[in-house]
A and B are shown apart, each in its own frame.
Chain A
Amino acid sequence: MINSHGKIDLHMHSAVSDGTDTPAEFLAQVKRAGLGLFSLTDHDAVKGGKAILGMLSPGDPCFIPGVEFSCKDGEGKYHILGYGFDPDEAEIRRLVDHGHQLRLKKIGARLDYLKTTFGVDFPQEALDWLMALDNPGKPHIANLMVKYGYAGTKEDAIRLYINQLRFKSEYLSPEEAICGVLAAGGIPVLAHPCYGSGDQLILGEDMDQRIRRLMGFGLQGLEAFYSGFTDKLRREILDFAERYGLYITAGSDYHGDNKMIEIGDTGLEEVSDWPEGLRRFVKDATHGEQVEI
């Protein structure tokens, strides 16, 4: 039984990816925020979720294991969320591993580029620290560049040096991510649909094509409630969800101190506002647990 008063957040990050809270801190924050239902959706990682499962005690908010994959194919970039799978399931492990390997490969390419082009040379201990991170990325390299005096600020490091390298990096394909989540018994959902991989603006006919294409791979839901959505964008996504009978989710994209987003900031205010697609999602992602709302 989910003892919820309706406040939920299904899209958040911990320090396992690019957030700043450790899983334990994260759980404490979720409780403080008074959520009744939550998920942790680190990039390419389920380690945080596994830790949370081990920390939950009776009376805690209801937890749905989650993950977020950055995907790309010939048609564009997408962030695919997965929910309600078993974190130990082989398909999810394989996907997460694949994602992680691609990430390490990218980091390697960046480090090579920085070294040969700008003479950026980190000591081995720094490199070891970097590669041992769950989710190493541009910000981590940038931090090292500041630490070792190659750049004045993190932003300069990214803008003036790291982003100078434009390479065709390898991504998971949306098809691979969606199929993997399905194979692990989870529900694949398109994150912040209007914003694509974060920085685009996709609306109308483009959005329609995008959704239908991903549905062809097995997409089951849309994140219609998102901290960065205006009413208009939210309405557009809710309309698509209704038209195609898709699940609806609500997430903030909380990143701890890395982004100025509060837990629970999804634009979903009242329990009475829960659309049918969201009620259905909660029921199915919690595998039938009754949600008292």
Chain B
Amino acid sequence: MECNQGENAVKIDLAGRIDSNNAARIEEEIFAQLKDTAEGSALLLDAADLDYISSAGLRVILRLKKAYPDICIANVNSEVFEILEMTGFTEMMTVEKAYRVVSVEGCEEIGRGANGTIYRIDQDNVVKVYNNADALADIQHEREMAKLALILGIPTAISYDVVKVGNSYGSVFELLNARSFSKILAQEPEKMDWCVQEYVDMLQKIHGTLVPPGKLPDMKETALGWARFMQDHLPEAAGKKLLALIEAVPHDGHMLHGDYHTKNLELQNDEVLLIDMDTLSVGHPIFELASMYNAFIGYSEFDHDNIKAFMGFDWDTGLAFWRKSLSAYLGTNNPRKNQEVEDKARVVGYARMIRRSIRRHGLESEQGRAEIAHWKEELLELLEKTDTLLFAPNELELEAVAENLPEVQAFVDEHLEASGCPAKAQMQIGVAVEEIFINIANYAYKPDKGKATVRVEVSENPVVVSITFVDHGVPYDPLAKEDPDVTTAAADREIGGLGIFMTKNLMDDVSYAYRDGQNILTLKKSL
């Protein structure tokens, strides 16, 4: 608990011993001191110099409490705290323990998050100093978060002590010989790919963690708050669209870190540890990607030097790390896919950054105004072309033209390789994919052009690859065509039709359906 009596609280110092010998005198003195203080005023008893309190002293406090219900005792040493706890005083009023005082002057800053800065205070320990001066509740919250994450299998550090750092509070963690990923990237750029891999592995672990309902806040609610804030700062239609886009994101009970960047990932010996757990929430990964985009790109988009001060590495490193991480996370190098997801992340990310900047008086400086204008311009452009914030890493939408075939094949191959598909099956699937996609390109929209979506799914046990093609063209079932007679001599054969025939032979199952104005063709092959 924390004394939150405000600046107007009357402060009274308690010192030495309060027992039956002096309780009456002390009580008289305190009430004399309070003679001009209205009953019911906030009272702050500072027990920094209080060594001992007996039952006579407790009664003094009780009577003070009766006259001034809004009372709080601060800086209580552990002996006195024990007495207050044993007698139920800690249930009656706010009792704040005295905390060890730690200085971070000259200490290395090793991390910085939304709510605080982390310093290394010695070889083995770090302290997270909270920005908020009334941080005890925040510290407690973060401890709970970290414990929950640990129970759910996320490697993290849990604080073991709360200390006073200047006017703020800090929580102390044991972090031996640890280095943040930011530092590794800055010092050993050749480890970029390794860092990306570890970073993405951890991210997938977080996003794969289902959190028991009610344990963590819902990120969607927070994001809706940003969108609502933005209503006053965007044209009406754009504001409404932003709100609708976020509202349409379905609830997701998987964990999000909320501030997932390379300063919050530590390498301790050979173990990768996640820190700064106070922003844990649940929700759709797009919200996480938005804050990642902001950390590596967004905040430095207008002034590329920003990232150096925050991350310790330069703009190009941040850009490369973000692009590689996104691509690894999505499991595809397809630039179209990566851009699509990045754009969705940017919608949420810009809304968040603009709100944050405005709330921090960004509109009051020229630099701030220019930055906000830039973000807003980008956001408006994105809102024009964005219809959903949802994304499927295994789904590629592109124009159904023959020139796009290599892209489709590369996209399919990536997913097949990731699932350990044998080379022969991969080649066979490649043939079928070519047949179907070219079919769509040639016939679906003639003479116009239109889009097709390719979805790759790999099920386990048994391992079956399904590839689905969807287009909005004229209804057309390629399977309805009779199989060609392959026994006749080449010169006598009909032109065409052979591709579909091969596809049927190479795949275990080919099926067609026309639903909701869409041609849906699915290839299946057991591996």
Contacts and interface: CB of A to CB of B under 8 A. Distances in A.
Contacts of B28: 260
Nearest to B55: A195
A159 B17 CA distance: 13
A232 B56 contact: no
Nearest to A158: B21
A155 B25 contact: yes
B54 interface: yes
B190 to A, nearest CB: 63
B88 A201 contact: no
B20 A260 contact: no
Given A159-B22, A260-B63, A231 B91 contact: yes
B21 to A, nearest CB: 6
Nearest to A232: B88
A201 B92 CA distance: 18
Dominant secondary structure at the A interface: loop
Interface string B33-66: 0000000000000000000001110110011001
Nearest to B59: A228
Interface string A98-131: 0000000000000000000000000000000000
Given A195-B55, A260-B63, A261-B63, A233 B21 contact: no
A13 to B, nearest CB: 14
A250 to B, nearest CB: 16
A127 B42 CA distance: 47
A201 B87 CA distance: 8
Interface in A61-91: none
A203 interface: yes
B301 interface: no
Contacts of A203: 86-87
A274 B61 CA distance: 26
A232 B62 CA distance: 13
Contacts of A201: 54-55, 83, 86-87
B391 interface: no
A199 B22 contact: no
B91 A232 contact: yes
Contacts of A261: 63
A194 to B, nearest CB: 7
Interface in A228-271: 228, 230-233, 258-261, 265
Could you say which interface size class chain B belongs to? 20 to 34
Contact of A231 (B19, B21, B63, B92): B92
A231 B92 CA distance: 8
Contact of A194 (B19, B55, B91): B55
A184 B89 CA distance: 39
Nearest to B91: A232
Contacts of A231: 88, 91-92
Interface string A157-173: 01100010000000000
A272 interface: no
Interface in A196-241: 196, 198-201, 203, 227-228, 230-233
A265 to B, nearest CB: 8
B266 to A, nearest CB: 43
A223 B19 CA distance: 22
Contact of A155 (B22, B87, B91): B22
Interface in A29-55: none
Dominant secondary structure at the B interface: helix
Given A228-B58, A228-B62, A231-B92, A260 B27 contact: yes
Interface residues of A, number: 24
Interface string B57-96: 0110011001000000000000000010011110110000
Nearest to A163: B21
Nearest to B20: A199
Contact of A198 (B55, B88, B91): B55
A19 B507 CA distance: 103
Contact of A199 (B31, B54, B63): B54
B87 A233 contact: yes
A158 B86 CA distance: 30
B24 interface: yes
A152 B470 CA distance: 99
Contacts of A259: 24
Nearest to A204: B86
A200 B55 contact: yes
Given A203-B86, A233-B87, A260-B63, A228 B21 contact: no
**Which among B19, B27, B88 has the highest number of chain A CB atoms within 10 Å?**
B88
Interface string B419-463: 000000000000000000000000000000000000000000000
Contacts of B22: 155, 159
A199 B56 contact: yes
Contacts of A199: 19-20, 54-56
A85 B20 CA distance: 31
Contacts of A200: 54-55
B169 to A, nearest CB: 27
Given A203-B86, A230-B62, A198 B21 contact: no
Nearest to A265: B66
B73 to A, nearest CB: 13
B220 to A, nearest CB: 41
Contacts of A260: 27-28, 31, 63
A198 B86 contact: no
A195 B19 CA distance: 12
B59 A227 contact: yes
Interface string A3-22: 00000000000000000000
B56 A198 contact: yes
A155 B22 CA distance: 7
B55 A230 contact: no
Interface of B: 19-22, 24-25, 27-28, 31, 54-56, 58-59, 62-63, 66, 83, 86-89, 91-92
Given A231-B88, A260-B31, 5 more contacts: A198-B56, A201-B55, A228-B58, A228-B62, A232-B87
28 contacts: A155-B22, A159-B21, A196-B55, A198-B20, A199-B19, A199-B55, A199-B56, A200-B55, A201-B54, A201-B55, A201-B83, A201-B87, A203-B86, A227-B59, A228-B58, A228-B62, A230-B87, A230-B88, A230-B89, A230-B92, A231-B88, A231-B91, A231-B92, A233-B88, A259-B24, A260-B27, A260-B31, A261-B63
Interface of A: 153, 155, 158-159, 163, 194-196, 198-201, 203, 227-228, 230-233, 258-261, 265
5 closest A-B pairs (Cβ-Cβ)?
A: A232-B88, A228-B59, A230-B88, A195-B55, A199-B20
